[in-house]
Chain A
Amino acid sequence: MTNYETYHHDVLVIGSGGAGLRAAIEASAAGVSVAVVCRSLLGKAHTVMAEGGVAAALGNVDDRDNWKVHFTDTLRGGQYLNNERMAELHAKESPDRVRELEAWGAVFDRTDDGRILQRNFGGHKYPRLAHVGDRTGLEMIRTLQDYTIHLGVDIYQEFTIVNLLKEGDKVVGAFGYDREKGLFKVFHAKAVIIATGGMGRIYKISSNSWDCTGSGISLAYHAGAELIDMEFVQFHPTGMVWPPSVRGLLITEGVRGEGGVLRNNAGRRFMFDDVPESYRAQTSTNEEEGWRYTQGDKNAKRPPELLTRDHVARCIMREIREGRGSPHGGVYLDIAWIKEKIPNATEHIRRKLPSMYHQFKELAGVDITKEAMEVGPTTHYIMGGVKVDADSQMTSTPGLFAAGECAAGLHGANRLGGNSLSDLLVFGKRAGEYAAAYARNTPAGKINEREVQEIATAALAPFERESSAAGENPFQIQYQLQDRMQELVGIVRTGKELEEALKHIGELKEKIIRVACSGNRGYNPGWHTALELTHMITVAEAIARAALQRKESRGGHYREDFPEKSDAFGKVNINIKKDDKGEMTVTQVTKPKMRDDLQQIVNEMK
């Protein structure tokens, strides 16, 4: 019999990134009691790392921008696999969500007439990203954090959720432990919102923080919720490649937005060599025009460096694979060259891209105002995740909601930069609002004591195995998974490799049954990792299975054995669900026809 403490709330939010905090604010405003549980300290969630900006059609810099343009940009970027209703809500509501941050104390960079400044980003037709230098995520999370702490929301920091609790079909709470002491906790709630972010850490080369293991996606899956679009992982084109210990660390797209260019080892701007059909009309064909675009010339077309991420990442891979890469296996990203164009380029770069300047200076010993950076693709974001209702963010499991990176639909096959921070705000708010409404109309469910005991026993099992010689080291299993995913489920995929990946994942599942840890329960990273492995492996399997199913190339998903887009696959989302026997099932679900008025907008903006 294991002891545990129980907390009662109307709405439980798991995660304190942008999505979780925004959800908590809204639920709290609706007058219900709200708890936020997060396994890192408040204000340190992965959102803090976001750099470039938050996308919203404010039209402050170019008044031709409006929600319809943002909407069509999002669909074009997502290769029309997006949930159009989500894209519509997102484009319409993000301006208000950004202005609201200002009312809560956020201090965005300004235009000359004192309004919120917006910058260019890949796939966005007009300058659309509200930003603060290259630390927009910090500004956003701090604003939400400082606002939330005065609302009477209960915040449980450094608590990890390991299971959701159900009564029949419906979610009634969650089970977890506090990291400090390792004591078990049960959160009894009428509605649960998952806002746990992404999964970059299941790959070896990733821009993501420690926290991003995809655990919320797995929690939802094991609670019976459907997942969609799991094959769509975004590999950001520009991660650091050298030195090895910082490999994968992000270089914001803002560098290209400010005029940075990509070159191969022959000095060629290779992005001009391959511009996809759907973007040809809006992409410039000469370097001079591209430069003018980055400097705000409204009549200039966008340089090919600002094409969507999936495409840029693949072009970089091509250069590297064909032997035109840099010494450490990347290509060159050069912002220093702008000194040919503007006076005071050094100060300009340091002011516009301060974190990039420091990151390279301190971690690589490179001065980006003088030298080019070496860059290569890094695992960055997952477009797929928990399937949700567009308006309410409720999953297919009653009582369970999801918002932010762990939810899916808005981005389709590829996300545009800046569309995540706005996603967190728009759908975090909606999740909070609808979860609160659901909680008001739902009686509290019952926690099943036996289920809790079973979970607790399983959670402590790694300690029991401590002395057995066959015990597996949790960190080593994690490294093996990361290596396999990088190698076999990365940016270029084949059916054969995906099957091999699934075989390895099967073996790792066997291994985690033997995972062991030592020491005691207080702040024990070995134990924490051991408990996290199930989630990481579940998410890895879902990605590999979905990727195997989609026999075409589109957006973030590239199959070398099916390099073209297929019309048939262009009409379906890949759906993943746990069946009655506990097996992962994969189905193709036909997308409903787009609403006529939205279709018309898409046609008009072609």
Chain B
Amino acid sequence: MASVTFQIWRTHASGGQLQEYKTEISEGMVVLDAVHQIQAEQANDMAVRWNCKAGKCGSCSAEINGHPKLMCMTRMSDMPQDKPITIHPMKAFPVIRDLVTDVSVNYRMKKKIKKFKPRPPDAPDGTWRMAQSDIDRIQEFRKCIECFLCQDVCHVLREHQLHEEFVGPRHMVYTAALEMHPLDVEDRREELKNTGGIGFCNITKCCTTVCPEHITITDNAIIPLKERVADRFYDPLMRLLHLFSKKKNNH
């Protein structure tokens, strides 16, 4: 057991500030445990969003010592404990209260992306055939737990607040999963370019670095999408080819 000092963002009527708390840390605790302990013992009304405490729901995103992380997957033993540990809400989103942010923009942006549209079933019983090797790459994207940490670090959203112009890395991953789905026949390239704002991404890869699901957001999702968009809009030869071949050819 050791006593550790935390500085946790608390909001009040005219803004907010970091407030100091001390709590006892025991073996194996994660940051979320410490926050809960402080909440139960010293600050019943301290707001924190969480559900699973297992890194599966993506609710508990925050900035711990300035690093965007899941509080439930950050072990206390990995944190330097000789100086105060700061916990700040995600900075890219408006704060609702204390550590809880308003992430509703993400839900709004997702809804604008054209939904999954499968080709007609392959078999008379209404089912499809897909090889495991053809779905490996989108299964990577579908690991996303919608923690929005990638949105939080992306400078386009964080510094420039272009939430309505750029869908951000999470939704690039989402779009990639749809576009590369072997059954999908929809074309989302135009919207990626326009409403999606894919051009805003300048491949800094900050999003990939913070993803708790280790999704290679930039290399595996965004860059291939950029290539597809480029093919569609700028390459006359590719354009011509598209006229002759079906859009997707995964079999």
Residues of A within 8 A of B (CB): 40-46, 48-49, 99, 102-105, 107, 109-110, 113-117, 132-133, 135, 137-139, 142, 146-147, 149-150, 157, 180, 209-211, 242-246, 249-250, 355, 358-359, 362-364, 473-476, 479, 517-520, 522-527, 529
Contacts and interface: CB of A to CB of B under 8 A. Distances in A.
Given A48-B51, A142-B142, 13 more contacts: A44-B58, A49-B57, A115-B129, A146-B116, A147-B115, A180-B97, A242-B28, A359-B54, A362-B55, A362-B73, A364-B28, A473-B44, A526-B39
Overall SS of chain B's interface: loop
B146 A115 contact: no
Interface stretch (B79-87, B103-111, B194-202): B103-111
Contact of A525 (B44, B121, B126): B44
B44 A518 contact: yes
Interface of B: 26-30, 33, 39-41, 44-59, 73, 75, 96-98, 100, 102-104, 107, 110-111, 115-116, 118, 121, 126-132, 135, 138-139, 142-146, 178, 181, 184
Q: Which 5 pairs from chain A and chain B are nearest by CB? A: A243-B28, A519-B45, A526-B44, A114-B129, A105-B116
Contacts of B44: 473-475, 517-519, 524-526, 529
A526 B127 CA distance: 49
Contacts of A245: 26, 28-30, 33
Nearest to B111: A149
B75 A525 contact: no
A150 B111 contact: yes
B135 A46 contact: no
A476 B40 contact: yes
B27 A243 contact: yes
Given A99-B126, A210-B50, A519-B45, A359 B55 contact: yes
B118 to A, nearest CB: 6
A284 B127 CA distance: 35
A474 B45 CA distance: 11
A527 B45 contact: yes
A104 B116 contact: yes
Contact of B53 (A99, A104, A209, A476): A209
Contact of B59 (A44, A116, A249, A525): A44
Contacts of B59: 40-41, 44
B100 A523 contact: yes
Contacts of A519: 44-45
B115 A146 contact: yes
A421 to B, nearest CB: 15
A409 B147 CA distance: 35
20 contacts: A44-B146, A45-B51, A49-B56, A107-B139, A138-B56, A138-B145, A142-B142, A146-B115, A147-B116, A180-B96, A180-B102, A209-B57, A243-B27, A246-B53, A359-B55, A479-B40, A518-B45, A519-B44, A524-B45, A526-B39
